Amino acid sequence: MATPTNKPTRKVVAGGVTGTFVTLVVLILNIYVPIFEQKPISGEIAGLATTVISAIVAYLIPPAPEETTVMENGRCMTALKQPT
């Protein structure tokens, strides 16, 4: 039997870390790369890049072996498999 949990899955963690990384890359480019001094990367473009790249990474990361999904009260939730 699986136990429902609110713990973020590794897909969610990977998406969050990727979003942080993309945001930092844009910041570094805007500050330290001479090409972007006159015309920095806009917030809209940075937001788009963060969203798209994070979604792709989160989609590609497989669930952990101990993770599964269960239906509880009409909602699909992440659950941790019980050790056998």
Q: Report whether pLDDT(1) > 70.
A: no
Residues above pLDDT 70, as percent of the chain: 98
pTM (predicted TM-score)? 0.77
Query: Which residues, including other chains, have CB under 8 Å from residue 60's CB and lie 6 or more apart?
Result: none
Q: Report whether pLDDT(60) > 80.
A: yes
Question: pLDDT tens digits for 34-43?
Answer: 999 899 999 9
Alpha-carbon gap, residue 35 to 39, rounded angstroms: 8
Alpha-carbon gap, residue 50 to 69, rounded angstroms: 27
